[in-house]
């Protein structure tokens, strides 16, 4: 018979109580996001101790239905409907009416909605208040958000990665249980019958796919480093170190492969608040630059020139850095290196090193750095994901150290995030 050790259960409860007490001592009435992440981790430990093996097997077996139910709910507009109706509760019939009026659904029955909602409410994607009656939870609102980040993540994985995951079982049985290290070979390429890197595969898909990919990139992030590091202080300190005035022409940061520009737009605001006028630059592939400019326009800036103080440069970062991107105070690679194998990463890092001014420029690598043990689902899952689709991996600090060393740099500081999320690895020319 399955039992759980009381001592182990008590240990986890004590951890949770300590977390709550710490927040209370700080005068808070709520846990903030990184504390919520810590609380979830404790709950996960408690679950591992108390969940009988049969229940765990059940959860693993049924998980694809949760994914499927979420995908179906997206197609039926259930999150949008519940979120818009909040704080009102909605019945399955009201959700049917919404789907028929606002989506492509040809027919929907209240029974279909009720049975779908049973799975969703189990995972907090909405709250069940009575039989066939629901109200939006905070997760519902997040899934209904206009940026569509979370919905895009679910749909993108469902369409492109999930079939490749199933295919991987026969792939590894045939090829051997070794993760590929080439960016154009792997279960993903094998399923989709292509021999090109995954990013090239995306660029050949209809624009809606690339758009969805860019939307969901936002979702893979946890609390951004610029929320827990005082950006103004960090930049000012280095500017003062070089006794240089912060004139308008100075290039403060180049964000290579910065996606739709979420980080440059946020950073620009932070730098403005700190009175720092130097330029920052987003360097991306041409279609993504277009999306970034559209993103700037949605923030109320010009569609042609984007946010003031941000330069938008269409450039392939696997080619030498152009003149205008030379000698920046910081170069920034966020969730880029984990897409590439060691060989291509070193090629990219060498090109960055060439653009760096000795003794002055720094490289900031923003990634979820793997810890030796106890990595969460984001880290362990993303590592698998990188292996499946990019022939690459998540790395430990030592592995990042090896990579930058091969490109003539060294790690000068490791800024570890308070919630074990996005870390910052600061490097300089060796």
For ligand SAM, the binding residue among 217, 254, 365, 424 (CB under 6 A) is 217
Q: Are 143 and 74 in contact (CB under 8 A)?
A: yes
Residue 322 vs 358, nearer CB to ligand SAM: 322
Contact status: 285 vs ligand SAM (CB under 6 A): yes
257 binds ligand SAM (CB under 6 A): yes
* Number of helices and strands in the chain (H, E): 19, 10
β-pairing verdict for 330-334 and 251-256: parallel
Q: Residues 182 to 211: which contact ligand SAM by CB under 6 A?
A: 199
Residue 51 or 290 having the CB closest to ligand SAM: 290
Query: Per-residue string for binding with ligand SAM, 298-337, x by CB under 6 A?
Result: ------------------xxx---------------xxx-
CB of 60 to ligand SAM, least distance (A): 28
Closest CB 22 distance from ligand SAM, rounded Å:
30
Local structure of residue 369 (DSSP, 8 states): P
Choice from 186, 258, 278, 421 touching ligand SAM (CB under 6 A): 258
- Least distance to ligand SAM from the beta carbon of 193, Å? 22
How many chain residues bind ligand SAM (CB under 6 A)?
15
Nearer Cβ to ligand SAM (20/229) = 229
**3-class SS at 339?**
helix
Q: In sequence order, what are the residues at sequence separation of 6 or more whose Cβ sits closer than 8 angstroms to the Cβ of residue 350?
A: 407, 408
Query: Which residue has the closest beta carbon to ligand SAM?
Result: 257
H or E segment at 385? helix 377-390
Is 339 a binding residue for ligand SAM by CB under 6 A? The answer is yes
Q: From 10-18, 62-70, 252-260, 402-410, give the range in contact with ligand SAM by CB under 6 A.
A: 252-260
Answer yes or no: are the C-beta atoms of 198 and 218 closer than 8 Å: no
> What secondary structure letter does DSSP report for 256?
E
The answer to whether 291 touches 214, Cβ cutoff 8 Å, is yes
For 404, what's the count of Cα atoms within 13 Å in the CB-facing half-sphere? 24
What CA–CA distances, in Å, run from 27 to 20, 32, 51, 173? 11, 12, 34, 56
Q: List residues binding ligand SAM (CB under 6 A).
A: 199, 217, 257-259, 284-285, 288, 316-318, 334-336, 339
């Amino acid at each position: 018979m399955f039992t759980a050790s009381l001592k182990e259960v008590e240990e986890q409860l004590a951890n949770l109580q300590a977390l709550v007490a710490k927040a209370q001592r700080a005068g808070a009435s709520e846990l903030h996001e990184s504390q919520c992440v810590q609380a979830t981790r404790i709950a996960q430990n408690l679950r591992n101790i108390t969940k009988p093996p049969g229940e765990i097997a059940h959860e693993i077996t049924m998980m694809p239905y949760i994914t499927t139910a979420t995908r179906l709910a997206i197609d039926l507009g259930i999150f949008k409907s519940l979120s818009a109706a909040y704080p009102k509760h909605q019945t399955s019939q009201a959700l049917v009416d919404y789907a028929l009026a606002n989506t492509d659904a040809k027919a929907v029955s209240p029974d279909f909605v009720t049975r779908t909602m049973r799975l969703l409410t189990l995972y907090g994607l909405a709250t069940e208040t009575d039989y066939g009656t629901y109200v939006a939870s905070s997760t519902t609102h997040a899934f209904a958000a206009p940026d569509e980040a979370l919905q895009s993540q679910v749909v993108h994985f469902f369409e492109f990665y999930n079939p490749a995951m199933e295919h991987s079982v026969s792939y590894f049985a045939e090829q051997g249980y070794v993760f590929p290290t080439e960016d154009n070979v792997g279960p993903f390429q094998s399923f989709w019958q292509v021999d090109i890197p995954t990013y090239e595969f995306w660029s050949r898909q209809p624009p809606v796919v690339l758009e969805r990919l860019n939307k969901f990139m936002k979702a893979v992030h946890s609390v951004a480093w610029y929320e827990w590091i005082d950006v103004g202080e960090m930049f000012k300190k280095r500017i003062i170190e070089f006794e240089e005035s912060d004139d308008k022409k100075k290039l403060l940061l180049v964000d290579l492969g910065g996606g739709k520009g979420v980080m440059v737009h946020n950073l620009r605001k932070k730098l403005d608040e700190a009175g720092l006028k130097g330029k920052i630059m987003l360097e991306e592939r041409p279609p993504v630059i277009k999306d970034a400019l559209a993103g700037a326009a949605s923030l109320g800036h010009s569609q042609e020139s984007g946010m003031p103080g941000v330069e938008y440069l269409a450039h392939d970062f696997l080619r030498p850095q152009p003149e205008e991107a030379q000698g920046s105070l910081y170069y920034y690679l966020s969730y880029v290196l984990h897409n590439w194998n060691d060989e291509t990463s070193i090629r990219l890092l060498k090109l960055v090193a060439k653009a760096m001014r000795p003794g002055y420029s720094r490289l900031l690598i923003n990634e979820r750095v793997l810890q030796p043990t106890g990595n969460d689902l984001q880290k362990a899952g993303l590592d698998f994901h990188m292996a499946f689709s990019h022939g690459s991996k998540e790395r430990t600090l030592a592995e990042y150290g090896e990579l930058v060393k091969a490109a003539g740099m060294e790690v000068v500081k490791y800024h570890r995030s308070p919630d074990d999320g996005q870390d910052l690895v600061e490097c300089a020319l060796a």
